[in-house]
């Protein structure tokens, strides 16, 4: 029997609706909407698309979206000055500086300048540290947080399960591993130097692929009944000439014959990322206003 398809689109829509309700409570109780400031430097078309979707989702959830578009030749000092202004602005609860930044800027320095309590991407070292020590004040990167949400909805209690995370980036792999450890999984982090990756993957009750290599994980790498979360988004040539299509890091058609449940690409992890950005913004707003974190997010 083929695996259950984990519907990230539906899960994200439900979460966004919930955030919308809670955002209107927030506005009513504080007299102002929760606010997300986005910053884009330059005119990278993919980044422009991401920012547009993030802004539209923010507005749809009843939160304030304020955008700062800076030209590609903006100096790092000017960007840092803007970040400082946003840090000090009481109407701004979340700050998102879209990456990648132009080559003349040091992303680490820019991220380090963001107030950790407004760092809704969860990339600041303070938030990485909070996550590592299990501090609930952590703002956690949106994509792994979305994966965890899907896993808990699918499996309930995760404790004692063996999770293999393929990929060790600061944005996905490492925070994913920390989150799973926080849920008392036995966690293995695999990466480009891992030996005999297929055998390791076959031991996983939970397999998270965050690599960026189209369909690298084959069906025979999957333990029968495992839950597979495919973070990869890879554009490959389509069937018709000149057309392209998106595939994940997992060979879906093979893996769904073996897995117990699996996320498709598109429609799996992808939609959860923006939903979690809204969630993080609302959580940051509550904390900054001295309100208890909203339940059920």
The catalytic residue positions are: 54, 98, 121
Tokens of 5: 């398809």
Q: Is 79 in the site for ligand NAD (CB under 6 A)?
A: no
Tell me how far, at minimum, the Cβ of 278 lies from ligand NAD, in Å: 14
Burial 37-56 (b: 16+ CB within 10 A, else e): bbbbbbebeebeebbeebbe
31: left (phi > 0), else alpha (psi -120 to 50), else beta? Answer: left
Near ligand NAD by CB under 6 A: residue from 29, 71, 75, 192: 192
| C-alpha span between 13 and 82 (Å, rounded) | 32
8 Å CB contact between 124 and 114: yes
Tokens 């949400």 label which residue?
A: 149
Give backbone dihedrals phi and psi of 207, rounded to 5 degrees, phi first: -120, 120
Contacts of 36 (CB under 8 A, 6+ apart): 54, 58, 63, 64, 65, 66, 92, 93, 94, 95, 96, 120, 277, 281
Binding letters toward ligand NAD, positions 119-148, x by CB under 6 A: ------------------------x-----
Q: Is 211 in the site for ligand NAD (CB under 6 A)?
A: yes
Q: Which residue is nearest to ligand NAD (CB)?
A: 169
Q: Is 171 in the site for ligand NAD (CB under 6 A)?
A: yes
Length of the chain measured in residues: 297
Q: Which residue's CB is nearer to ligand NAD, number 41 or number 210? A: 210
Q: Interaction with ligand NAD in 224-263: which residues (CB under 6 A)?
A: 231-234
Contacts of 289 (CB under 8 A, 6+ apart): 26, 30
Q: Which residue's CB is nearer to ligand NAD, number 82 or number 166? A: 166
Q: Is 189 in the site for ligand NAD (CB under 6 A)?
A: no
Q: Which residue's CB is nearer to ligand NAD, number 227 or number 273? A: 273
Q: Is 51 in the site for ligand NAD (CB under 6 A)?
A: no
Paired residues of 40 in beta bridges:
69
Tell me how far, at minimum, the Cβ of 166 lies from ligand NAD, in Å: 5
Q: Interaction with ligand NAD in 263-292: which residues (CB under 6 A)?
A: 269-270, 273
Q: Which H or E run contains 163? A: strand 162-166
Near ligand NAD by CB under 6 A: residue from 12, 172, 206, 229: 172
Q: Is 98 in the site for ligand NAD (CB under 6 A)?
A: no
Q: Is 204 in the site for ligand NAD (CB under 6 A)?
A: no
Tell me how far, at minimum, the Cβ of 230 lies from ligand NAD, in Å: 9
Q: Which residues of this protein are in contact with ligand NAD, per CB under 6 A?
A: 143, 166-169, 171-173, 190-192, 194, 197, 210-213, 231-234, 269-270, 273
């Amino acid at each position: 029997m083929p695996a259950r398809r984990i519907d990230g689109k539906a899960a994200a829509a439900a979460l966004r609706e919930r955030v919308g309700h809670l955002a209107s409570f927030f506005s009513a109780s504080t007299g102002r909407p929760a606010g997300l400031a986005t910053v884009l430097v330059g005119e990278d078309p993919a980044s422009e698309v991401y920012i547009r979707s993030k802004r539209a989702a923010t507005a749809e959830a009843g939160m304030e979206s304020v955008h700062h578009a800076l030209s590609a030749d903006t100096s790092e000092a000017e960007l840092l000055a803007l970040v400082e202004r946003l840090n000090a602005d009481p109407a701004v609860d979340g700050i998102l500086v879209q990456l990648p930044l132009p080559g003349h800027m040091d992303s680490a320095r820019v991220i380090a300048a963001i107030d950790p309590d407004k760092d809704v991407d969860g990339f600041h070292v303070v938030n990485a540290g909070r996550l590592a020590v299990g501090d609930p004040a952590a703002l956690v990167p949106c994509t792994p947080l979305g994966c965890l949400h899907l896993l808990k909805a699918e499996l309930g209690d995760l404790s004692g399960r063996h999770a293999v995370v393929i990929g060790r980036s600061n944005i996905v792999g490492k925070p994913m591993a920390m989150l799973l450890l926080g849920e008392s999984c036995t966690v293995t982090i695999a990466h480009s130097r891992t030996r005999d990756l297929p055998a390791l993957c076959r031991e996983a009750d939970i397999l998270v692929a965050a690599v960026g290599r189209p369909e690298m994980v084959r069906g025979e790498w999957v333990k029968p009944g495992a839950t597979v979360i495919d973070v990869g988004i890879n554009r490959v040539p389509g069937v018709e000439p000149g057309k392209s299509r998106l595939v994940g890091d997992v060979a879906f058609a093979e893996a769904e014959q073996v897995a117990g449940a699996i996320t498709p690409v598109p429609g799996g992890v992808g939609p959860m990322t923006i939903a979690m950005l809204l969630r993080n913004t609302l959580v940051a707003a509550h904390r900054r206003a001295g309100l208890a974190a909203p339940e059920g997010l």
